Amino acid sequence: MCARLRVFIAIAVCAIGLGRGILLAGAAPAAEPLRLDAVVAEALKQNPEIEAARHRWKAAQERAPQAAALDDPEAKIEFWNTPENLDITRTGNTIFGLSQRFPYPGKLGLKERVAVQEAEMALSLLRAKEREVAAAVKTVFFELFFAHKAIEVHHQQIDILKDFFAVANARFRAGKGAQVDVLKASVELSKLFNELPVLEQQRESAKAKLNVLLNRAPQSSLAEPLEPAGPRARRALEDLQQMAIQNRPELRTLDIEIARSQTAIALAQKQYYPDFNIMVSRFQNFGARDGFGGMVTMSLPFSFWTKPKYDAGVREAAANEDAAKATYEALKNQVLFEVKDLLVKTDATEQLITLYKTTIIPQAQQTLESARANYQTGKVEFLTLLDAERALRGH
């Protein structure tokens, strides 16, 4: 045996030993598998973005009591005809007053309704954030599952090439095969070991992303993900689109925004009506009889120099309503398209999976077994065996 061949065989043997070492080192007591539903539930409870949206909703709920409350009352004291020595006890007329501003009936109720609707919008945004995080968790979960499966399949391919290497080496030692077959098997085996760190990096990146979504340290350990359940029963396109329109939080937010804009229009129109200020006073007169008094003042929002700003307020509220309606229609059309697009992609993917399971992979496995048997009997060359293995690996 030439020196060059001995070197390649030594490298291949070391690679085989290294592969076994990796498998043994990775072996650990089986942990509870990572379940998709449990991971999503944990993310909904622990994700900081959801927590921030939840606090914004709670803050929005506190605006309604503020909007429905009256302005602070005002107390006053006036001194009239105060002596030159500033002795307020000898002031000719002392007035104690208490006043309260009352908006025109209906204004406070409309303000409260606007605040309530804004809180409902914050709740819809919270639900939208929950769905966004849940979708991200599911995506990363499947990335992690795919990475684990890719590594598992990769090790299976390594085992296949180890077997090829052993067969080629045995045929060469028996004088029935060429040394180039051993060299080719060694090179292919080395290539597979070189690809393994990339697959492991993809797995670790998926783990880190999932940990971040769960509000954990990126380097926290995670069990191997459990294979998700198969596809659910299919629904008609129209049913799915109707469900999406009814349950999409962003559409619900815009629906509430339209209602809030309509309330804002009513509130803007109420600004044409006056507000009132009622004051009760107590008069204390030095050297004369004391008494009580009262006063009512009224704002004049319909004056020609202030009315234009209220006209602009009504136009602004109406424009906001039109913008919300247009945005709703645009998003609704986008949702209908997304449902249709995802349904088509799902159907195509399911058909492809069925084709791989029932036809492509079984045929590739049969081709590989046939090539291996024929190579052992000398009917085909080693390259045919490698082509069959590459075809199976590609699928």
List the domain boundaries for the chain: 234-271+304-395
Size of the chain, expressed as the number of residues it contains: 395
Q: What is the pLDDT along the chain (395 residues), one digit of tens a residue?
A: 343 434 333 334 444 444 444 433 444 445 688 999 999 999 999 999 999 999 999 999 999 999 999 999 999 998 877 776 677 666 678 889 999 999 999 999 999 999 999 999 999 999 999 999 999 999 999 999 999 999 999 999 999 889 888 888 888 888 888 888 888 888 888 988 998 999 999 999 999 999 999 999 999 999 999 987 766 677 888 999 999 999 999 999 999 999 999 999 999 999 999 999 999 998 877 766 778 888 999 999 988 899 999 999 999 999 999 999 999 999 999 999 999 999 999 899 889 988 988 999 899 999 989 988 888 888 888 888 888 888 887 76
- Domain 234-271+304-395, CATH: 1.20.1600.10
Torsions phi, psi for 171 (to 5 deg)? -65, -35
The residue written with tokens 């008094």 in the block is 293
Q: How far, in Å, are 52, 206, 234 from residue 48 at the CA level?
A: 6, 19, 34
pTM over 0.75: yes
